[in-house]
Amino acid sequence: MINKCIRVVGFFLFIGGLTGLLLLPCCSKTGVSSNIFNQWMQPSDKIKILSTVAMIDDIVRQIGKEKILHMSLISGQIDPHSYEMVKGDDEKLRMATVVFYNGLGLEHGASLSNHLLNHKNAIALGDAVAHKVPEEMIYIDRTIDPHIWMDISLWSLIIDPIVQELSRLDPESAEFYKNNGKNLLEAMQRMDKKIYYAMREIPSPQRYLVTSHDAFNYFTRAYLANPDEEYWQSRVNAPEGLSPDGQLSSSDIQYIVNFLLEKHIQTVFPESSVNRDALNKIIHDCQKKGLKVHMAKSPLYSDSMGGKNSGADNYLDMMWHNTNAILSEWKKN
């Protein structure tokens, strides 16, 4: 009888524990917790703002604050270039009052691209920046580089379109959004200068950067190049192109090996959302040719931000994390 009671109690404890696990907040494939998703799907008087990537969502958060509901469609270490819609994404898009996306060819996955083009109120912030300052856009093999958030001065240009749209949707709070945008712009300008002068600690002949894919062109031009340097592109290289979903050839690898040998570069920087196989191959080939190259301990954030407690879970902290990660490695050499 006692054994039977123990088995019954044990059974209910097991069921209770299983239920508890099922009730714990979980994350979707895009890194959005079920709690946030459930809140998003409920009726609300607040403006619902969906951003495709975390770098946009963080700017939106700082402008809208408590007056909005906001969410990033693509979160965590997921490549936004080739992102395809997953279960629940169409509901998120449908419930959004406005969708902010980067544009400039970043979100080129067929299903997501189609939804953005057909949404009733989707705004391409990167396209707005390119229209305002076309001379600042970088092209790689005649393709526009979408990674404009890597230059804080350029990324700050998305503040006005966001403030304008929020003010249109919520006119009574227009002054609130305007003031938040002004404060954010000042913080971004301070960080822009801070990174620029921090990089001056490294002599010009050492400021050469090799990463996983072509995401750091704007960063290089803004913070590594000398003033008015005409051929700043020679300071940055990567085995993979603007989108890290292409197939690498042996010649792609050899090109980076030769670049490292020519510039006597001893550190390559992995990116948090990109496979490291190409960099490992490059390191191996360099060592066979007599150049000791190592992979940086701390990955750089390029197409995503860091998670909670990463030191890179908001846009400006992400940019400062990348700066510190690069500086700490270069100072060792």
Computed on alpha carbons and rounded to an integer, the radius of gyration of the chain in Å comes to: 23
Q: What CA–CA distance (Å, rounded) separates 209 from 260? A: 10
Structure tokens at 318: 């992400």
What is the pLDDT at residue 5?
40
Q: Assign residue 65 a region (left: φ > 0; alpha: ψ between -120 and 50; beta: otherwise).
A: left
What is the pLDDT at residue 246?
63
Strands (E), 182-299: 209-210, 236-237, 267-268, 294-295
The stretch 195-210 carries a mean pLDDT of 97
Q: What CA–CA distance (Å, rounded) separates 200 from 180? A: 31
The DSSP code for 299 is P
Q: In the block, which residue shows the tokens 């990109």? A: 274
Percent of the chain exceeding pLDDT 90 equals 77
Q: Is residue 3 over pLDDT 80? A: no
Mean pLDDT score of the chain: 89
Q: Is residue 13 over pLDDT 60? A: no
Q: Could you report the per-residue pLDDT of 65-102, keeping only the tens digit for each? A: 999 999 999 988 888 998 999 998 999 999 999 999 99
**Residues 313, 306: contact at Cβ < 8 Å?**
yes
Q: What CA–CA distance (Å, rounded) separates 207 from 273? A: 23
What is the pLDDT at residue 229?
95
What domains appear along the chain, each with residue ranges and CATH number?
Answer: 34-188 (3.40.50.1980), 202-330 (3.40.50.1980)
**Amino acid at the residue 71:** M
* Cβ-proximal residues to 276 (8 Å cutoff; 6+ apart), any chain: 212, 270, 295
